[in-house]
Amino acid sequence: MRTIGQFIEAFDAILQCEGVGTFVLACQSYGGMAQAYPPHKPKSIERLTLSSTGPADYGKAWLPASYAMIALARLLPEQTVKGFLTGRLLKIITLSADKREEWLEAIQTVIRDDLSRADVISHFAVAADLVAKGIVTPAAYHDWKGRAFVLSAENDPTQGTKGYSTL
């Protein structure tokens, strides 16, 4: 999956297969890309809950970083990419000393066993496509009558409500 359109099409296919009409959409971390969904199907989503994700309209300033991550993920050895991601995750997750080892092991296991190079490329490609296309704007939400909730934690440096005014 490389585009926000493919992301939305895949989500549509799952909902259709499961026979889901209206629903509450809860998004965690990368799932925040689903912020593009209410403008796509405004009558389907009653509420949108965003947790540990940023606003989908970060702005064009994030595009070079996303494109750089895609290039690195394609060029560097897979283990190097996975090591870099593990290190970055540990920098943004604040933990007490007694929990750090447990989390480190969990993160390393998931990245080592479940994450592929294609997953990394897909993650950054869909995010970059969403930003580049400017899909999440105040005007895009004009027809959506649902409610949005933003969950954030004081100890998560990626969090805050700045930028969510569009919802």
Q: Summarize pLDDT for 119-161 with one digit per residue, the tens.
A: 999 988 998 998 888 888 888 888 899 998 888 766 665 555 5
User: Domain check: are 10 and 22 in the same one?
Assistant: yes
User: Domain check: are 95 and 52 in the same one?
Assistant: no
Whether 7 contacts 33, CB under 8 Å: yes
Model confidence at 109: pLDDT above 70: yes
More confident residue, 10 or 98: 10
User: Domain check: are 36 and 6 in the same one?
Assistant: yes
More confident residue, 7 or 60: 7
User: Domain check: are 128 and 152 in the same one?
Assistant: no
Q: Which residue, 80, 166, 76, 21, is CA-closest to 12?
A: 21
Give the pLDDT of residue 73. 93
Which amino acid belongs to residue 59?
G
Q: Tell me the pairing of strands 45-51 and 147-151.
A: parallel
More confident residue, 7 or 96: 7
Per the structure, how many domains does the chain have?
2
State pTM to two decimals. Answer: 0.78
User: Domain check: are 129 and 139 in the same one?
Assistant: no
Q: Summarize pLDDT for 39-97 with one digit per residue, the tens.
A: 899 999 999 998 877 666 666 777 898 899 999 999 999 999 998 888 888 777 777 88
User: Domain check: are 126 and 70 in the same one?
Assistant: yes
**Residue spans of beta strands (DSSP E) within the chain:** 23-28, 45-51, 147-151
Give the pLDDT of residue 68. 92
Domain with 26, as residue range(s), is 1-56+135-167
User: Domain check: are 19 and 51 in the same one?
Assistant: yes
Q: How far apart are the C-alpha atoms of 81 and 119, rounded to whole Å?
A: 11
